Amino acid sequence: MRQFQIFGLQTALIKPGDSLLEHLYAAFDTQGLVLQDHDIIVLAESAVATAQGRIIELQSIQPSEEAREVALQYDIEPALAEVVIQESDAIVGGIPGFLLSIKSGHLLPNAGVDGSNAPEGHVTLLPADPDALAHDLRKTILEKTGCVVAILIIDSRTHPMRYGSGGVAIACSGIPAIIDERGRKDLFGRELKVTRRAVADNIASAAELVMGESDEQTPAALVRGLDIEFGEFEGIDLIAPDECIFIGSLKKAYITPP
């Protein structure tokens, strides 16, 4: 029987310069958990960004003319618009309160710049080089404990035309982020043509069920018992815009942003 378990990991408030590993080890100790081979550790991007010091005080930002225009058009604070523009590779549109950004091949609101769980008047940016950080954490844990684990750094996203945010992985080290089932057989013995499973995103969503986005201080989770291959897997393959059914279908608007 395929089965697995997920535990929320509660930590003290994470501050710039903190060691994420020390927070994790303390959470394990406090909760009576012992790290095992093939554990998957899931970290919220906001906790990672905070530890990295990726926090900006909005008052320190001088909005450009472009930022002021975008801020007016989409009903956003001009300083926030400036930070989002600086953090984005491209802005492809927006709705009141949010810009839709492309950043490092990811499509996401406000380039991941977020005022929740940041000190008053501040915003957190997305973590710097999350893939490298996930890799380093995995290797350090292997050296220090001998345990073969995987590390995911996750963010929240919405699906088109659905309410509510779920988890997606922005970094994945130690397990494949996507499992390609093309070539496998279906129930009737025919080859599957398009099925790729977003395993890392599914783990991210599962972890969000035990992690807190408000005052719960549960910025991490432990996934144990999942039947998946562990090894030297790194990163998350991204799709070309035209291959994406949403962007591909609506590409006139995508190609000529406002």
**CA–CA dist 43, 45 (Å, integer):** 6
Query: Judged by CB under 8 A, which of 42, 168, 171, 175 binds a second copy?
Result: 168
Q: Which of 93, 139, 144, 231 binds a second copy (CB under 8 A)?
A: 93
117 forms part of the interface with a second copy (CB under 8 A): yes
How many whole angstroms separate alpha carbon 119 and alpha carbon 99?
22
Residue 181 CB, shortest distance to a second copy, in Å, is: 6
Does position 239 interact with a second copy (CB under 8 A)? The reply is: yes
Contact status: 13 vs a second copy (CB under 8 A): yes
Strands in 150-157's sheet, in edge-to-edge order, are: 150-157, 40-44, 220-224
Q: How far is CA 4 from the centre of its chain?
A: 21
User: According to CB under 8 A, which residues from 198 to 227 bind a second copy?
Assistant: 198-199, 201-206, 208-210, 213-215, 217-218, 226-227
127 makes contact with a second copy (CB under 8 A): no
> Cβ of residue 157: shortest distance to a second copy, in angstroms?
6
DSSP state for residue 90 in the 8-state scheme: E
Q: By CB under 8 A, tell whether 4 contacts a second copy.
A: yes
Residue 16 makes contact with a second copy by CB under 8 A:
no
User: Nearer Cβ to a second copy, position 5 or 60?
Assistant: 5
CA nearest 169: which of 155, 180, 157, 183?
155
159 in contact with a second copy (CB under 8 A) = yes
The 3-state DSSP class for residue 59 equals helix
**CB-nearer residue toward a second copy: 140 or 165:** 165
For a second copy, the binding residue among 35, 64, 86, 98 (CB under 8 A) is 98
Is residue 134 near a second copy by the rule CB under 8 A? Answer: no
Nearest approach in angstroms of CB 204 to a second copy is: 8
Name which of residues 22 to 51 contact a second copy (CB under 8 A).
Answer: 31
Contact flag: residue 60 with a second copy (CB under 8 A): no
What does DSSP say about strands 106-109 and 122-124: parallel, antiparallel, or unpaired? unpaired
Is the CB of residue 28 less than 8 Å from the CB of residue 9?
A: yes
Residue 80: its H or E element = helix 78-87
Q: Are 81 and 72 in contact (CB under 8 A)?
A: no
Q: Is there binding between residue 144 and a second copy (CB under 8 A)?
A: no
Q: How far apart are the first and last CA of the chain?
A: 52
Is residue 188 within the footprint of a second copy (CB under 8 A)? yes
Q: Tell which one of 3, 59, 60, 62 touches a second copy (CB under 8 A).
A: 3
Asked if 178 touches a second copy (CB under 8 A), the answer is yes
For a second copy, the binding residue among 59, 62, 146, 163 (CB under 8 A) is 163
* SS3 category, 142: helix
Q: What are the C-alpha distances in Å from 24 to residues 6, 91, 97, 174, 234? A: 15, 36, 34, 18, 21
